[in-house]
């Protein structure tokens, strides 16, 4: 059953460019959450810096105090991961390029996931999905844009979108460019 299309406009943080060779849609990763994570990363890594500054050195390592040396290793890994995530949040963008040959999704300039290339003629339907993750701090909701290919393969094209408007905009623009009739898909964002 064909759905009525909603005109969602260009969501905040996204741009669209149309040219003779196709359509390019970009989404910047930077949001107010990036500042929160940056502050958290500074505090976390400052604590670790002070921990190691007071460290007695490896020449004082004994069987009795080995846990003192091993305990912060996991925390250092988290600190490095936080820094990487924050830098990506400030600099990265997801670029979706649509042509009559391929639909491509890539993240740049900081590597964060794999580039996805789907042959455009193989695409049967594009749809959006809400993803809810539960943790001890509550629930977080993000959105995905998914592609169903003619061989029934279901592929996530873009994930981690913060608003349903971003996901619906991507879906609408890809389907419009490729001339795909928008039909209902089980489990899609309603």
pLDDT in tens, 81-119: 999 999 999 999 999 999 999 999 999 999 998 999 999
DSSP, collapsed to helix, strand or coil, labels residue 9 as coil
Judge residue 74's burial from the number of C-beta atoms within 10 Å of its C-beta, 0-12 exposed, 13-18 middle, 19 or more buried.
Answer: exposed
Q: What is the pLDDT of residue 64?
A: 75
Model's pTM, two decimal places? 0.84
∠ Cα 189 105 25 (to 5°):
75
Average pLDDT for residues 41-50, to the nearest whole number?
Answer: 92
Q: What is the pLDDT of residue 5?
A: 56
């Amino acid at each position: 059953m064909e759905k009525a299309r909603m005109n969602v406009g260009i969501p905040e943080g996204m741009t669209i460019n149309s040219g003779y060779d196709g359509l390019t849609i970009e989404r910047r990763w930077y949001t107010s959450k990036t500042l929160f994570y940056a502050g958290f990363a500074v505090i976390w890594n400052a604590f670790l810096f002070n921990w190691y500054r007071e460290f007695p050195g490896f020449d004082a390592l004994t069987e009795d105090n080995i846990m003192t040396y091993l305990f912060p290793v996991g925390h250092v890994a988290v600190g490095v991961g936080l820094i990487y995530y924050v830098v990506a949040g400030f600099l990265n963008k997801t670029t979706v390029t649509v042509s009559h040959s391929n639909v491509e999704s890539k993240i740049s300039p900081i590597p964060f996931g794999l580039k996805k290339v789907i042959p455009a003629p193989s695409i049967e339907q594009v749809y959006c999905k809400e993803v809810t993750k539960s943790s001890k701090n509550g629930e977080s909701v993000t959105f995905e844009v998914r592609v169903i290919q003619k061989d029934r393969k279901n592929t996530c094209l873009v994930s981690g979108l913060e608003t349903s408007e971003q996901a619906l905009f991507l879906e609408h623009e890809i389907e419009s460019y490729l001339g795909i009739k928008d039909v209902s898909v089980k489990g899609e964002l309603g």
